Structure formats: C-alpha cells, structure tokens
C-alpha cells in the first residue's frame, strides 16, 4: 500500500488564497523520474510571496510552495540511487512544479545536485537558495576580476538570507566587507559574520546621483531600486555589481554614466535556471568557503506547521539570516 504523507498547499478561490495541509500519495505529485524523501526546506523572500499571495509567483494552483528542498533519494530512473543525499534549488519549484513544503517530492533527476563533502541536508537548507545565490554572486564577481586587494565590497540587505551568507563567505575569503542594513540592532550579528564596517540603509536609499564618490570595488545587492542605483554610482572604476534581488523594488533609477565613464559592470544573477555546472561549482565552494559555525548562528529552525506566520514576517523584514523548515514537524 502506498504511504501517505503531509504536504502544504496554497490554492486560489473566488474569496482569495487558502493555505492548508493535505495527506497525499506520491501519485498525487507532479511528474518526475525521481522521488526524494524531504528532510528540510527553507523560507526565502520568494516563499513569503507565495505563502501570502503578495505577488503572482505561483503560476498554477493548487501549488505546494517551497523553492528549496534537501533530502535522500528513494527511487530514481536517473543517475541517482536510493540513499543519495541531494539538494534542489529553483527550476520552477513552487512556481510551475510542486515545491519542498512536503515530506516527499517527485522531480527530474537532472535538477538535483549531490551534496558536497560532509554537508548535511540541514546544512544545505541553512544555506538554501539564499546562500546558493550569494555564492553565485561571489563567483560572478571573481570572474569579473574581484580580489581582496581591489578594495572593500559592499553587501546590501546584509541581515537577510543572501546578505548574511555573502558577508560570511567574503570575510572568510579575506575581503573587507561593508554591510548595509536598515536594522541597527543587527550590528553585532553582522560583525560576528565578518563585516568590517556597517552603514545604515538610509545611506543608499536617498535620491540617486549619476555618479557618487568611488567607494567600493564591487557590490552584492539583494535590494534593487534606489539602493542598487546608489551602489552602482559608488562603485570604483572597473568594478562590478552583482544584482540578485528586489526586496526594495524592481525599478532601477540610474543612468548610463557609471557604465560608460567608469566601466562598471552590472551582473545579473539568476538562481532558478542557472546551468548545472555552475550549480555544482557553487555548492562545492559553499562546502569549502562558508564557515559552518557562522552558518549556525544565522539559522533558525521552524516547523512546517508554523511556516505561514513566517511568510508574513519575511516580507515585513522581520526575519534575520536563514530559516530552515523542518517538513516533518
């Protein structure tokens, strides 16, 4: 007899969005060649949008949210065998394909990345899409020539998931990190992660000038809008800005001046459809270049049964660091 398991569904009705648990079978999942027993998922900003219905991220209903998952393979017609530890980020999870907020997932084996080294499934979800995206940003900046001797690196939204992991990675790699946050109370937390200095969000959220004083060799931005525009205007000649988020808005009120007068590069970072080779590289680097003791200090575990409340909190900027979701609790 097939085993029933729990999954969280969001659905749309004439009265609005509903969020409810259901007991389902593997046959109720979307098609895929591999079944994964999920240990953990995560809460990211995008998950908050799906849980609350604040933006039309999910494109079909009913939908199981959760853009991340980590667990062990149960069955596979692909290159994996039962017991393999795997992680999955993006590829339309919680948008067009059922996501990680369930005790099992049926997915395509070509979406899965084997866990590197001694990394546990809990470690992988403490990193999650946010941390994986942070590493994609670091890789892109390294490809653009970033080295510690070039000068300080600015990280915006530094107390959030992407920002927290980015600060920790850059610090371990020997960079001078300037952390921008709107939460003054997080100064000690960011210093512990490795930030050399902290600036208030207000320094980057005002009116944008075409060019400001050159302060930063490179930037990792998870905010967008005026914050990103100001950061670009403060980037040194030949520097680069990795843009990966829109917590502050999707607009970009800037000019061509930083690009044609200072040779600044704007690097778009996509975590959803990133090529598999880049994904594997990112996860290998996370295994070596992220201090797991610092990861632990930025991580909070929550049960799947309580995730709906945290969806509201992450959109309100009330979540620090990373949230690991125990799908079996």
pLDDT confidence tier of residue 56, bands split at 50, 70 and 90: confident
Higher pLDDT, 16 or 177: 177
* Torsion angle in degrees (nearest 10) through CA of 42, 43, 46, 49: 140
Cis peptide preceding 295, ω within 30 of 0:
no
Average pLDDT along the chain: 94
Indicate if the pLDDT at residue 184 is higher than 90.
no
Cα separation, 71 vs 69, whole angstroms: 7
- Over range 127-150, report the average pLDDT: 96
Percent of the chain clearing pLDDT 70 (strictly above): 100
Confidence of residue 42 (pLDDT cuts 50, 70, 90): very high
Q: Find, among 287, 286, 298, the residue nearest to 132 by Cα.
A: 286
Residue located via tokens 């084996």: 109
Determine phi and psi for 105, rounding to 5 degrees: -140, 140
Burial class (CB in 10 A: 0-12, 13-18, 19+), 27: exposed
- Compute the average pLDDT of residues 220-226: 96
Structural domains of the chain sorted by starting position, each given as residue range(s) with its CATH number in brackets: 5-114+298-326 (3.90.180.10), 129-268 (3.40.50.720)
Q: What average pLDDT score do residues 183-204 get?
A: 93
pLDDT of residue 216: 98
Summarize pLDDT for 237-284 with one digit per residue, the tens: 999 999 999 889 999 999 999 999 999 999 999 998 999 999 999 999
CA distance 229 to 166: 20
Q: What is the pTM of this model?
A: 0.91
Strands 153-155 and 216-221 come out as parallel
Q: Which two tokens stand for residue 323?
A: 């949230």
Backbone φ/ψ region at 91: left (φ over 0), alpha (ψ -120 to 50), beta: left
The C-alpha torsion from 318 through 319 and 320 to 323, rounded to 10°, is: 170
């Amino acid at each position: 007899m097939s085993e029933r398991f729990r999954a969280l569904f969001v659905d749309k009705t004439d009265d609005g969005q509903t969020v409810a648990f259901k007991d389902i079978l593997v046959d109720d999942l979307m098609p895929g060649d591999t079944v994964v027993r999920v240990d953990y998922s995560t809460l990211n900003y995008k998950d908050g949008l799906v849980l609350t219905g604040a933006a039309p991220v999910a494109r079909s209903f009913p939908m199981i949210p959760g853009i991340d998952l980590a667990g062990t393979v149960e069955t596979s017609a692909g290159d994996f065998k039962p017991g393999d530890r795997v992680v999955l980020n993006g590829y339309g999870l919680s948008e067009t394909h059922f996501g990680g907020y369930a005790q099992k997932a049926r997915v395509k084996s070509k979406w899965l990345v084997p866990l590197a080294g001694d990394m546990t499934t809990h470690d992988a979800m403490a990193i999650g899409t946010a941390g994986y995206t942070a590493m994609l940003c670091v890789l892109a900046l390294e490809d653009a020539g970033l080295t510690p001797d070039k000068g300080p690196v600015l990280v915006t939204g530094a107390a959030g998931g992407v920002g927290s992991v980015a600060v920790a990675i850059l610090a371990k790699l020997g960079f001078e990190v300037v952390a921008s946050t709107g939460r003054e109370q997080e100064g000690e937390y960011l210093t512990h992660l490795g930030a050399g200095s902290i600036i208030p969000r207000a320094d980057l959220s005002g009116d944008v000038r075409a060019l400001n004083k050159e302060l930063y060799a490179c930037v990792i931005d998870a905010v967008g809008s005026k914050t990103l525009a100001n950061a670009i205007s403060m980037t040194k000649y030949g520097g680069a800005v990795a843009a990966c988020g829109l917590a502050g808005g999707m607009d970009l009120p800037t000019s061509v001046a930083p690009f044609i007068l200072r040779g600044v590069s704007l690097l778009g970072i996509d975590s959803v459809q990133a090529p598999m080779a880049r994904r594997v590289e990112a996860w290998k680097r996370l295994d070596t270049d992220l201090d797991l003791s610092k990861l632990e200090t930025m991580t909070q575990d929550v049960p799947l049964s309580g995730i709906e409340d945290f969806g509201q909190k992450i959109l309100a900027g009330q979540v620090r660091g990373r949230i690991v979701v125990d799908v079996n609790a």
